[in-house]
Amino acid sequence: MATGRTHRPATRSRGIPEATVARLPLYLRALTALSERSVPTVSSEELAAAAGVNSAKLRKDFSYLGSYGTRGVGYDVEYLVYQISRELGLTQDWPVVIVGIGNLGAALANYGGFASRGFRVAALIDADPAMAGKPVAGIPVQHSDDLEKIIEDNGVSIGVIATPAGAAQPVCDRLVAAGVTSILNFAPTVLSVPDGVDVRKVDLSIELQILAFHEQRKAGEEAAAGTDGGAPAVAARSESADKGPDGDVPAVMPA
Amino acid sequence: MATGRTHRPATRSRGIPEATVARLPLYLRALTALSERSVPTVSSEELAAAAGVNSAKLRKDFSYLGSYGTRGVGYDVEYLVYQISRELGLTQDWPVVIVGIGNLGAALANYGGFASRGFRVAALIDADPAMAGKPVAGIPVQHSDDLEKIIEDNGVSIGVIATPAGAAQPVCDRLVAAGVTSILNFAPTVLSVPDGVDVRKVDLSIELQILAFHEQRKAGEEAAAGTDGGAPAVAARSESADKGPDGDVPAVMPA
DNA sequence: CTGTGTGAAATTGTTCACAGCT
DNA sequence: AGCTGTGAACAATTTCACACAG
């Protein structure tokens, strides 16, 4: 598609499919690891294995970014790291606020991978006055009364909500009113936001329930098996049922 | 769809699409809330709004489970709660172990929604001997030396990995070897597992990176749009603009 | 020869729109 | 009359397989 001059205003990135966007961070992580080991180039096959996808998908994904590989050779690691970082907007620094400094909020504040790549915890906010001033991960917690001011002073456009479910929507409304346009929601609630605001959610119990579904099905199939010749303990069913949130984990189909 | 089979027996759940499975927990949550408010029935329109999807999708999703609604009326809340719970395997209790009791592990252990619905924290496991015996969320932490025994004694089939990245794969291997067949991975690593084992991942930095991508694009478009005054302040509150796959993913970082 | 880049096919998921119960 | 259940159209994503650049 790199060759196809799709009639489009001179704007930046062509429409990169959402599914591809969701995998770019995965590729980036794998590439960063290679970069740290000073590996100069990598093939789609190797990189795909490291990222846990298949190589065709990876090549297709990269084709949306442009032609960054060399036929017969592979991809230049450093160059790809840069291109993907740029595509993801990680060449700039994103100030982030975390609202709700309970167990989870504290865990997030302490999470290293946070700062490492393009994100900076600009502020921690909690509604509990007793928390105010207390440092978490080296950053003093601020009271939620000042939420709007904090957002504006720091030019924050990404907010992380780690409050109890009941507080999530009100907090979300205030964040959005103050100018936040991307929200990562850890509270088990559906947030409603105006158009133009992105929300992504991370929900432990949903993930567990999805696992339970598959777990249950495994148990059922196990019981149903038995007439078969061999006695292999584990799932032989070709229904490679492992899914990630978006992609799969390595799976080699015996064609 | 099977043309002649209008009356399919209840339990023969043929392949429910993965995207549908990923939404069932969402419906279940909305229904549980309705149930607590003693709402007897709900229409696809209302329930869809509560779950943040559109009604056609919801009806289609439910159609995979069977015909549980009443035309002209809607769905019986209690009945649907039961049917979805059963479909997700939540009518039984799943013992879960959490490995890695740092900030995040502790947050997970304390997370209420955990126990509430079909899941029971059977054990907390950490590699730090200093943690052993210390209670977290009322449960004493056990040393990882005993991991295999703990898994077997408790009949655990679902494991949660909240260790640092480096420890995740070895822990995963031990869990799998001990009989765990579903893993929820919070460590920023791609886990490789044998066939038949499900892995779902929850990854903060991936989610943030996806948000950054969209955030960057918004900034670019804003610049390109130039001529029309301020931000288009509001529009209809669309439900969470879920890009993920998710089914993504949605998902957490579906992802 | 090797491994990328990509049309085309296959699969999966979403939306439409309306027939058919209640 | 109202709302579910669902075929059929549509859209997105994944996989295949191979031309072709290096």
Q: Which nucleotide is nearest to B73 (CA to C1')?
A: D3
Q: If you count residue pairs, one on A and one on B, with CB atoms under 8 Å apart, how many are there? A: 300
Contacts of A133 (CB under 8 A, 6+ apart): A140, A141
End-to-end CA distance of chain A: 28
Report whether pLDDT(B255) > 90.
no
How far is B146 from chain A, CA to nearest CA, in Å? Answer: 24
Q: Quote the pLDDT of residue A223.
A: 73
Q: Best of B58, B180, B183, B216 to disrupt the A interface by mutation (most A CBs within 10 Å)?
A: B216
Report whether pLDDT(B133) > 50.
yes
**CB-based contacts of B168-176 (< 8 A; 24+ apart in sequence):** B171/B99, B171/B100, B171/B144, B171/B147, B172/B199, B174/B147, B174/B148, B175/B97, B175/B99, B175/B147, B175/B151
Q: Which residues of A touch B136 (CB under 8 A)?
A: none
Q: Quick one: how many helices (H) and strands (E) in chain A?
A: 9, 11
Show pLDDT as tens, one digit a residue, over chain A (255 residues). Answer: 333 333 333 333 469 999 999 999 999 999 999 999 999 999 999 999 999 999 999 999 999 999 999 999 999 999 999 999 999 999 999 999 999 999 999 999 998 777 677 999 999 999 999 999 999 999 999 999 999 999 999 999 999 999 999 999 999 999 999 999 999 999 999 999 999 999 999 999 999 999 999 999 998 877 776 544 333 333 333 333 333 333 333 333 332
Q: Which CATH class is domain A101-202?
A: alpha beta
SS (HEC) of A19-71:
HHHHHHHHHHHHHHHHHHCCCCEECHHHHHHHHCCCHHHHHHHHHHHCCCEEC
CA of A197 to C1' of C15 (A): 23
- The arrangement of secondary structure in B18-88, i.e. its CATH architecture, is Orthogonal Bundle (1.10)
How far is B122 from chain A, CA to nearest CA, in Å? Answer: 14
Q: Quote the pLDDT of residue B4.
A: 33
- Nearest-CB residue to B224 (from A11, A102, A242): A11
| pLDDT band (50, 70, 90) for residue B228 | very low
Q: Quote the pLDDT of residue A12.
A: 36
> Rounded CA gap, B254 and B52, in Å?
16
CA of A91 to C1' of C5 (A): 27
| pLDDT band (50, 70, 90) for residue B91 | very high
CA of B235 to C1' of C19 (A): 35
Q: Quote the pLDDT of residue B99.
A: 98
Span B94-201: which CATH code? 3.40.50.720
Tokens of A85: 């970082």
Give the pLDDT confidence of B134-192 residue by residue, as tens digits: 999 999 999 999 999 999 999 999 999 999 999 999 999 999 999 999 999 999 999 99
Q: Best of A186, A206, A214 to disrupt the B interface by mutation (most B CBs within 10 Å)?
A: A206
Rounded to an integer, the average pLDDT of B200-213 is: 96
Q: Return the residue matching tokens 């172990």.
A: B97
> Rounded CA gap, B231 and B122, in Å?
50
Question: Are residues B252 and A200 in contact, defined by beta-carbon separation less than 8 angstroms?
Answer: yes
Q: Return the residue matching tokens 């917690």.
A: A141
Domain segments of chain B as ranges: 18-88, 94-201
Q: Quick one: how many helices (H) and strands (E) in chain B?
A: 9, 11
End-to-end CA distance of chain B: 31
Q: B232 or A48: whose pLDDT is higher?
A: A48
Q: Quote the pLDDT of residue B14.
A: 64
Q: Quote the pLDDT of residue A249.
A: 32
Give the chain A residue nearest B23 (alpha carbons). Answer: A206
Kindly write down the DSSP assignment for every residue of B150-176, as one continuous string. HHHHHT--EEEE-S-HHHHHHHHHHHH
Q: Quote the pLDDT of residue B220.
A: 80
Give the pLDDT confidence of B16-42 residue by residue, as tens digits: 999 999 999 999 999 999 999 999 999
| pLDDT band (50, 70, 90) for residue B225 | low
* Chain C bases closer than 7 angstroms to a protein Cβ: 1-8, 12-17, 20-22
Report whether pLDDT(B9) > 70.
no
Contacts of B69 (CB under 8 A, 6+ apart): B44, B59, B62, B75
Instruction: Identify the CA nearest to B222 among candidates A26, A55, A211, A196.
Output: A196
CA of A251 to C1' of D15 (A): 13
